[in-house]
Structure 1
Amino acid sequence: MGKKELSAWIRSGVVEKNLKETFDSTLDALYDACPLRKSRESICKSLHDLLYSDKTFRQSSLAHITMFGWLEDKKLSSSSSSSSQKQSKPFAVFKKTRFHSSAVGQHATVTNHCKDNITARDSSPPIEQSFSFTEKEQGAIVEPFINLAERAVYDFLVNNEDIIPLEVVESFADKQRPPISKDFRNADLLCMLNFILENIVIFSKKSVFHGQYKANPVELLIDFKKKVRNKLAHGIILNGKGRWNDHALQHVSILACEVAICLGGNYEEVFANKKDVDNEIIKRWIDKASQKRKSEVILDNEDNVNPSQKRKFDDKENIDASQKRRLGDSDLGKITEFVLDIFENLEGTEKDDRKKILKLVMDENEYVTKFWKTIKAEERKIQVRKFIRFANVMFDINLKAKNK
């Protein structure tokens, strides 16, 4: 029970609160703060076991990463002192040039799942998603971000090879299936991301990261790995529209920018790509909204369009701007006649004002149309009232004639 209590106490966040400049001073602070009256050695052993057995706990905060790094240093120091003839450890040497084009790696396979592959969790109605790009266009957008991120990751390793022990690289490379070269010349993006994540302590101790994720880049790298690289390799195609909706594409560009900044890569090139993607998405949204508005107007006027005009409209590519304006010929002609009648009764109307009004009519301005319809409705009311008065008069005349 004592070990469980001590383990629970260490997990409660006390390491972050008592982190000092060295491992020993931090351990002293933990010993002084411990309410369980445990020895310094017990606290050290329990902390050691948690950091080495629980990867999630080890990477959950900068304090835990730092403590793990200090323990690793102690291990290396102890191993070094046991062999007086042992030379300084060699460091990694990565191939300085390589072809950055493996979006998902040479050995990755793309799996497309059909929409019929539905589980119990998929029974709820899907969230509406906007797909402004075809599947090929989506791939053309994502691939440059993948390649730029891969370049940033590899350049990061090259720039920091002097702090990476060669034995760490060799051990990692030998565990890969199939094995990769010790200089990472054939390592794909996933492989390099895994290497950085598994050895995050080596890089964190030297403060080689940048930007808002400088203290702890683990979350960012895992997000990019799962939501971009893995999704590209094994993503589900949604209803035949592809795997990247508009918001997902924007998220890809944001994550790629953050990775480039964090690893000290060429973020300007990534930013330029992101700006182009954002602009194209906005343009397509505007075009889609405009097309939807035109369709609604056409449906509203469907009763006024004869069959031959409908056939012409279905062939959208062959209809020019002037033909589109003639789709409402009946109403447009009546509105034009109405405006010209007004001009005749208003001799003082300025020429420029007449041009502006006619321009609104020819552009089928919705406010002019509404104004005309309102006047026509008022005219109908006046005519109805006149007819009722006329009918009453005729009724009285007929009644008087009968009485005589």
Structure 2
Amino acid sequence: MLDELLARIEGRDFTIGIIGMGYVGLPLALTAVDRGFRVLGFDVDPDRVAQLNAGVSAIKHIPSASIAAAVSAGSFSATCDMNRLGEPDAILIAVPTPLDRHQDPDLSYVVKSTEAIARRLRAGQLVVLESTTWPGTTTEVMKPILEAGGLRAGKDFFLAFSPEREDPGNPKYSNAIIPKVVGADDPASRALACRLYDNLVAGTVPVSSSATAEAVKLTENIFRSVNIALVNELKLIYDAMGINVWEVIDAAKSKPFGYMAFYPGPGLGGHCIPIDPFYLSWKAREFEVPTRFIELAGLINNAMPQHVVHRLAEAIDKQSGRGLNGARVLIIGMAYKKNVDDMRESPSLRLTELIEARGAHTDYHDPHIPVIPRTREHAALAGRQSVALTPEVLASYDAVLIATDHDDVDWGHVVAHARLVVDTRNACAGIDTDKVVRA
């Protein structure tokens, strides 16, 4: 059976199903189509499914033309019907793995997806989890659910973990050119998953187990979290000394070895860095191993929005003597990073709430997010609309707070017409004016 499946992958007589048509699943689907595979996309949102089948993208950096071409060619279709999970030869799971209110892992989306697969699982299918999670999830959570019907992993069906490495909005690194780590607990599953991904991306990096692959993903993002926390703390120290941390970093990165540039900001955002470290610290409790370094990084990064609001209040008070109470503040950037329409875990949401809790009025401008969608933790902000950056609008606020440094914002225009600019991203570097305050 394994040899037949390997041959079918090479011959493109192989259908791939992907659960989750979001920032990870949709680019992966288009990559698979581009490599000659048939793809069936699963999503629980009927509006998104209808949009995709009409050839329309819901994600700004993914062109509708690519989706429309795949649909027109018959290579891609989307569905809400989980009864069709028996059709694909491989099912890749790319669903959210958020944290709950207590900062514990929420695997409900993974569990529901696995249960849906289990009800239709047939011999010969490959199931791969791509969602970030704690080491052991594939074996301890998914495998028992999938084997409950009598089929056995590694013998009757195949099970692996291959963490997503998508970087939304980064034109330099599309997922097709990024190697994929692949881990499985048996040689057959590892071989089949590696062969599939070898035909999708630049290459694979096989590891000895699914838990090892799960640990690789956490390690990648914990590395980023810790280093971002370090530069955030350095920013606080150097600000107190009157030293520009951005100038320090730019000079330090001229060293061709032993240094990697990370940059401070108003807080962490996105689906990985604010969340992934907590998955490992949660699992580490089971082994009674402390994760002090990881947790300290989380504390520093989570405190950055409060620091920004404190600096904002100081700057307004110094200029007008009024502080935040009753002030009008324009936040530029609602996306968690520049040049994308992705708001997941965006620090701008928290900044808005903190500023308004101090008695200020806030509006926002973001060329990529015309309206704030509903989110679980910030539902009260849903429906707010981006304002235009006209000279009159900019001049009407006590301060403009730069939270996201989108390339398509004219920062010279902003500084020229704003009364005060508080810059958390070094967007105004090179603009010589006393109006700009770093935060």
Please tell me the TM-score bracket, short chain as reference.
under 0.3
Give the structure, 1 or 2, with the largest relative contact order (CA under 8 Å, sep 6 or more): 1
TM-score by length of 1: 0.23
The structure with more helix, counted as a fraction of residues: 1
The structure with more strand, counted as a fraction of residues: 2
